Amino acid sequence: MALIGPGILCVFGLSFLWAWVIEKKRHYLLGLAAAPGLFALGVLVQVFGWPPQTQPNAIVSGLFYTTAMLLAAEGILRRSGQRFGLALDVAILAAIMGGLWYFAYVAPNLLARVYIQNFGYGFILLAAALHLTPLMKGRLIDRILFWTLFVFALHFFPRTVMTIGAQAPATAPAFAASLFWHALQLSLAVLGAALAAALLAAALSDMIDDLRHERDIDGLTGVLNRRAFESRAEAILAQDWRSPCALVACDLDGFKQINDRHGHAAGDSVLTAFGEILRRTSRTADLAARLGGEEFAILLPGSTSNGAYLFAERLRVGLSGTRFPFLPAAGRITASFGIAQHQPGETFHQLLARADRGLYQAKAAGRNQTIAAEGDVVSPAPA
């Protein structure tokens, strides 16, 4: 029975290693892969008596256990961009191992060693959980991970007190048959496996989110691509049809000439700069996308034609004020904009077509301006 818990954890350790092989940039997975293996080694040291003497056995197994706990805590923290840091890890390891050494060689006391290890590991994981309280505002899998870690950390304290109390078993066979030892193995098999499963699910969820991001985001500008934009825009219009919503269609003026005269690298730098302006100017709820080439569109939930006009003007002024090294001192890049406010019963593609008509009018009227679709009234702010 003593090998069931470590065996389960080793399976999860191999799963984390497999996840790291797939996604090597997630270095925290290596720590999570090593932790179960080290913990299993600690159990094997105790179960099979390697080495057979009590004092060195306590030190060797304690070293494996403590290192495993620190690796697990660091792996969990680093997934969220946090860490204890090497200095604190070494200090914690030294404190726990120093206590184990003292109560193994100087003043032999099994009960003290049990409390040092279990309370120490509980505090390590509890500190990691408290560092992750921001996860409570995140995704469902992040909330599950936080509570699983919190419960696992907390259980070290009552389990230890309730199963070993104030007197430790006198002999090694008695310790192996004690309620404390069996409760420890059961908690590893259940709560430890639950924490490992939550961590693995969170890691896989992160990978899936990255794949979705790569699928939906235009790599050059950092805004949505056409497929993702149309899908999300249609969903917004279907859900919030009672609220105002406006669409801005945009086209960079003379973009083909930029590529022809200065090369595609120059054209890419213009697209990248405009993407940065778009992301900086847009609100969190707005959807900005590159539809293709030099064409862009921005959906503005909650905005009227007036709001869309002001937004487009900020983009237009921001781009025209941006300087590019391949242009002469007086040169500038401009863009034309068409805007349309969503009308009852109008589909996304109909809304986009109306905004495009405003864009074509802006192009025909001399470019570098914003024109509302026919039927949309705007009151531009005075210059």
Are β-strands 370-372 and 335-341 bridged in parallel, bridged antiparallel, or unpaired?
A: parallel
Percent of the chain with pLDDT over 90: 76
Mean pLDDT to the nearest integer, 260-274 = 92
Looking at per-residue pLDDT, the higher value among 78 and 329 belongs to 78
Model confidence over 8-55: pLDDT tens digits?
888 999 999 999 999 999 999 999 999 999 999 998 998 888 898 999
Q: Structure tokens of 17?
A: 């290693």
Q: Structure tokens of 179?
A: 């309620």
pLDDT score for 42: 93
Helix (H) or strand (E) holding 120: helix 110-131
Counting Cα atoms < 13 Å in the Cβ hemisphere of 29 gives 22
Strands (E), 173-320: 245-252, 287-292, 295-301
- Distance (Å, rounded) from C-alpha 217 to C-alpha 257? 26
Model confidence over 172-230: pLDDT tens digits?
889 888 999 889 888 888 898 999 999 999 999 999 999 888 899 999 999 999 999 99
Model confidence over 286-324: pLDDT tens digits?
999 999 999 999 999 999 999 999 999 999 999 999 988
pLDDT band at residue 270 under the 50/70/90 scheme: very high
pLDDT score for 248: 97
pLDDT score for 238: 87
Model confidence over 113-144: pLDDT tens digits?
999 999 999 999 999 999 999 988 889 999 99
pLDDT score for 241: 65
pLDDT score for 377: 65
Residue 383 has pLDDT above 70, yes or no: no
Q: Structure tokens of 182?
A: 């069996």
Exposed e or buried b per residue across 239-274, where buried means at least 16 C-beta atoms within 10 angstroms of its C-beta: eeeeebbbbbbbbbbbbeebbeebeeebbebbbebb
